[in-house]
Amino acid sequence: MKNIILYLLAATLLFSCKSEEEKPNIIVLLVDDAGYADFGFAGCEDLKTPNIDKLAADGVVFSDAHVSATVCGPSRAGLITGRYQQRFGFECNPNGHEGIDLNEKTIGDAMKSAGYATAAFGKWHLGGEEGYQPNDRGFDYFWGFHSGGRSYFPDPQIDKPGHSHSIRENKTHATFEGYLTDALGEKCVNFIDSNKESPFFIYWAPNAVHTPMHATEEDLALFEGHPRQQLAAMTWALDRAVGKITDKLKEENIYDNTLIFFLSDNGGAHNNQSSNLPLKGFKGNKFEGGHRVAFFATYPEAFGSGHFDGLSSSLDIFATSINAAGIPNFNPEKPSDGVNLIPYLKGEKTGDPHAQLFWRKDQMAAARVGDNKLIRVEKLGYRMYNLEENLAEDHDLQNEDPEGFEALKTALESWENDKMQALWSEGHLWDTITWMIHEDYYNNTFPKVRNPGELKRFRMQQSSK
- pLDDT tens column, 382-439: 999 999 999 999 999 999 999 999 999 999 999 999 999 999 998 899 999 999 999 9
pTM: 0.94
Written as one letter, the residue type at 181 is: T
pLDDT value at position 224? 97
The region of weakest confidence among 9-23, 259-273, 365-379 is 9-23
In 3D, which of 109, 146, 143, 114 has the Cα closest to residue 130? 146
167 near 144, Cβ under 8 Å? yes
Written as one letter, the residue type at 259 is: L
| Mean pLDDT estimate for the chain | 94
pLDDT value at position 136? 97
One DSSP character per residue, 121-159 reads: EEE--S--STTTSGGGTT-SEEEEESSS---SS--TTTS
Ordered domains of the chain (ranges, CATH): 24-345 (3.40.720.10), 356-464 (3.30.1120.10)
Rounded CA gap, 323 and 389, in Å? 35
Say if residue 21's pLDDT is above 60: no
Q: What is the CA radius of gyration of the chain?
A: 22
pLDDT value at position 95? 82
- pLDDT tens column, 113-135: 999 999 999 999 999 999 999 99
pLDDT value at position 223? 98
**Which of the residues 44, 72, 92, 188 is marked catalytic?**
72
**Which of the residues 66, 125, 210, 438 is marked catalytic?**
125
Say if residue 14's pLDDT is above 50: no
441 near 287, Cβ under 8 Å? yes
Rounded CA gap, 365 and 70, in Å? 11
- pLDDT tens column, 130-180: 999 999 999 999 999 998 889 999 999 999 999 999 999 999 999 999 999
Angle between helix 229-251 and 50-57 (nearest 10): 50
Catalytic residue status for 165: no
pLDDT value at position 345? 96
Catalytic residue status for 72: yes
**HSE toward the beta carbon, residue 218, CA cutoff 13 A:** 4
